[in-house]
């Protein structure tokens, strides 16, 4: 507007254009400006407007190009001159920098002077045209990081790491996949060599085999002749025997390393595996006990028994000089009478006095005919009597004073004990593969999910119901698909109200009783 008017007035001084001449005349009549001043004013205005359009200080560019051919080190001078003349368009530098970079690199001119190649003043902000990282370089960076971390581990981590032998008793049930996957992932992260001995009650099943096959670890999967009983008592006893069986395997195959007991529903921290490398013969770590209690108010009430705040921790107890003086066990008196008896009881499941998972052994303790085995260890065969109740690996020892407390003398809780199981009548698809596919009684009307859940029609009026749904939710539906109604004739036990899709019952090949 103004630009064109000025240019017009400049170019067509004597034009008959009404607007232009009127402006020019009025300006010429009213002011006493000299032509030079007018010229500078006009130039100033032109520069301002161009800068407005382009987004950076155009005048600087002009002066730079005008003066750059002259003597050296006038680098700062052009900008001072421009700053006086040009108006302050304080454009934020982010849109500026693209243009600023287009100014040729001689902004930061390698001024051929005898002093320094570093010049004071305003420099362009260099931005490369393709800002994204090159994937090959990113890979190299990650390799560098990995190498640095490997070096750190070699310097500050454990020297001469030993193989970890993890012993897991398990059996096929609904929650097995949940628990076993958790343990499997923890073991897959262990940076040391690992052997995973999985003892399965009720014999080896495909269920378990399919889960552990995905680990990529070296596994020894054995079955145990008995099936898992339904009570916690019985389960604990059987698990002890299964663990002893695993120790027998360690003995037979002369596996060398550190034996730790990774129960399938426990949660292990990575520091645990670093810490157990320090064990000499037999060590104990602190285990956090997570009681899954449905009745939360019961846990909060103290009921007046106050000797000490009951920490849900089992493990070694040390005195001030970090010597083992005793054991912390879980105080289960508060739950006496209210604890779960059967596996699917809705009551807190109590741990034993000392859980197996809190102990780690040097595998040589269970080997036959090893010369340097300490005398305070019984031979594994002595525990083989079926009637023997082996509650914890301490039964392997003649004296418990030689147990090494690990994890800063038991101050660090390195793993957590938890027992959560499904209802006894719960069913799950074999190997968690749905075959045959689920029946669909009412298909989803449209995607995405509608705002309001449709009314679920009764079974008989399936097709009519589909159409009434259509009419009700009219405003959102664009087209209606012909519903594929398939009446399911099996019993509908789960009447879940799922928006849009009604799942039918699952006809599942039952796997267990």
Q: Which residues contact another protein (rule: CB under 8 A)?
A: 76, 90-94, 96-97, 100, 105, 108, 115-118, 120-128, 131-134, 137-138, 140-141, 143-145, 147-149, 151-153, 155-157
| CB within 8 Å of 510: residues ≥ 6 apart | 427
Nearer to another protein, 29 or 90 (CB): 90
In the complex, what is the shortest distance from the CB of residue 151 to another protein, in angstroms, rounded to a whole number? 6
In the complex, what is the shortest distance from the CB of residue 100 to another protein, in angstroms, rounded to a whole number? 7
DSSP codes of every residue in 71-88: STTTTHHHHHHHHHHS--
Nearer to another protein, 49 or 109 (CB): 109
378: left (phi over 0), alpha (psi -120 to 50) or beta: beta
In the complex, what is the shortest distance from the CB of residue 67 to another protein, in angstroms, rounded to a whole number? 18
Nearer to another protein, 140 or 423 (CB): 140
Query: Which of 328, 308, 306 is CA-nearest to residue 316?
Result: 328
In the complex, what is the shortest distance from the CB of residue 89 to another protein, in angstroms, rounded to a whole number? 10
Nearer to another protein, 97 or 226 (CB): 97
List, in sequence order, every beta strand (DSSP E) within 343-431: 359-362, 404-405, 413-417
Nearer to another protein, 94 or 471 (CB): 94
Nearer to another protein, 76 or 322 (CB): 76
Query: Which of 276, 248, 197 is CA-nearest to residue 379?
Result: 248
3-class DSSP state for residue 502? strand
State the Cα–Cα distance between residues 176 and 181, nearest whole angstrom.
8
In the complex, what is the shortest distance from the CB of residue 155 to another protein, in angstroms, rounded to a whole number? 5
In the complex, what is the shortest distance from the CB of residue 118 to another protein, in angstroms, rounded to a whole number? 5
**Are 87 and 45 spatial neighbours (Cβ–Cβ below 8 Å)?**
no
**Per-residue CA distances from 152 to 158, 167, 188 (Å):** 10, 30, 21
In the complex, what is the shortest distance from the CB of residue 142 to another protein, in angstroms, rounded to a whole number? 8
In the complex, what is the shortest distance from the CB of residue 268 to another protein, in angstroms, rounded to a whole number? 19
Please give the torsion angle defined by the CA atoms of residues 219, 222, 223 and 228, in that order, rounded to the nearest 10 degrees: -50
Joined tokens for residue 8: 């017009």
In the complex, what is the shortest distance from the CB of residue 176 to another protein, in angstroms, rounded to a whole number? 33
Nearer to another protein, 97 or 329 (CB): 97
State the Cα–Cα distance between residues 181 and 179, nearest whole angstrom.
5
Please give the torsion angle defined by the CA atoms of residues 328, 332, 334 and 337, in that order, rounded to the nearest 10 degrees: -170
Nearer to another protein, 141 or 452 (CB): 141
In the complex, what is the shortest distance from the CB of residue 277 to another protein, in angstroms, rounded to a whole number? 13
Burial class (CB within 10 angstroms; exposed 0-12, middle 13-18, buried 19+) of 257:
buried
Looking at the DSSP bridge assignments, the partners of residue 44 are: none
Burial profile 386-405: b = 16 or more Cβ within 10 angstroms, e = fewer = eeeebebbbbbbeebeebbb
Q: Which residue has the tokens 């006038």?
A: 74
Nearer to another protein, 73 or 431 (CB): 73
Nearer to another protein, 97 or 163 (CB): 97
3-class DSSP state for residue 28? helix
């Amino acid at each position: 507007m103004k630009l064109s008017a000025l240019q017009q007035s400049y170019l067509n001084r004597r034009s008959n254009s009404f607007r232009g001449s009127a402006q020019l005349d009025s300006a010429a009549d009213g002011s006493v400006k000299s032509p030079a001043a007018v010229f500078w004013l006009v130039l100033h205005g032109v520069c301002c407007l161009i800068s407005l359009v382009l987004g950076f200080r155009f005048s600087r560019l002009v002066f730079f190009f005008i003066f750059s051919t002259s003597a050296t080190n006038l680098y700062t001078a052009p900008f001072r001159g421009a700053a006086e003349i040009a108006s302050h368009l304080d454009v934020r530098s982010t849109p500026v920098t693209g243009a600023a970079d287009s100014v040729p690199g001689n902004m930061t001119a390698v001024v051929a002077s005898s002093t320094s190649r570093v010049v004071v003043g305003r420099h362009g902000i260099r931005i490369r045209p393709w800002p994204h990282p090159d994937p090959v370089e990113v890979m190299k960076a990650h390799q560098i990081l990995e190498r640095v971390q490997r070096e750190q581990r070699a310097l500050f981590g454990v020297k001469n790491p030993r193989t970890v032998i993890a012993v897991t008793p398990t059996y096929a049930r609904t929650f097995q996949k949940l628990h076993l996957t958790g343990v499997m992932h923890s073991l897959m992260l262990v940076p040391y060599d690992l052997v995973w001995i999985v003892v399965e009650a009720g014999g080896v099943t495909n269920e378990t085999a399919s889960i552990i096959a995905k680990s990529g670890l070296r596994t020894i999967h054995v079955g145990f002749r008995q099936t898992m009983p339904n009570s916690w008592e019985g389960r604990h006893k059987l698990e002890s025997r299964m663990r002893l069986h695993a120790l027998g395997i360690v003995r037979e195959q002369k596996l060398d390393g550190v034996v730790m007991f990774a129960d399938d529903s426990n949660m292990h921290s990575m520091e645990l595996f670093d810490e157990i490398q320090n064990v000499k013969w037999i060590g104990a770590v602190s285990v956090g006990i997570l009681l899954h209690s449905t009745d939360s108010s019961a846990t909060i009430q103290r009921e007046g028994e106050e000797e000490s705040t009951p920490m849900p921790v089992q493990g070694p107890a040390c005195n001030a000089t970090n010597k083992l003086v005793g054991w912390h066990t879980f105080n289960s008196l508060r739950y006496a009478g209210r604890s779960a008896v059967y596996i699917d009881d809705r009551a807190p499941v109590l741990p034993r006095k000392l859980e197996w998972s809190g102990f780690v052994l040097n595998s040589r303790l269970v080997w036959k005919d090893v010369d340097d085995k300490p005398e305070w260890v019984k031979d594994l065969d002595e525990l083989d009597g079926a009637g023997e109740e082996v509650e914890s690996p301490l039964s392997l020892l003649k004296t418990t004073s030689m147990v090494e407390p690990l994890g800063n003398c038991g101050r660090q809780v390195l793993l957590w004990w938890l027992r959560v199981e499904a209802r006894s009548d719960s069913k799950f698809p074999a190997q968690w593969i749905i075959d045959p596919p689920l029946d669909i009684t009412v298909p989803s009307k449209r995607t995405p999910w509608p705002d309001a859940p449709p009314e679920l029609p009764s079974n008989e009026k399936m097709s009519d119901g589909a159409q009434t749904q259509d009419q009700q939710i009219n405003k959102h539906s664009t087209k209606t698909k012909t519903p594929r109604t398939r009446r399911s004739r099996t019993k509908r036990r789960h009447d879940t109200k799922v928006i849009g899709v009604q799942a039918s019952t699952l006809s599942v090949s039952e796997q267990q009783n």
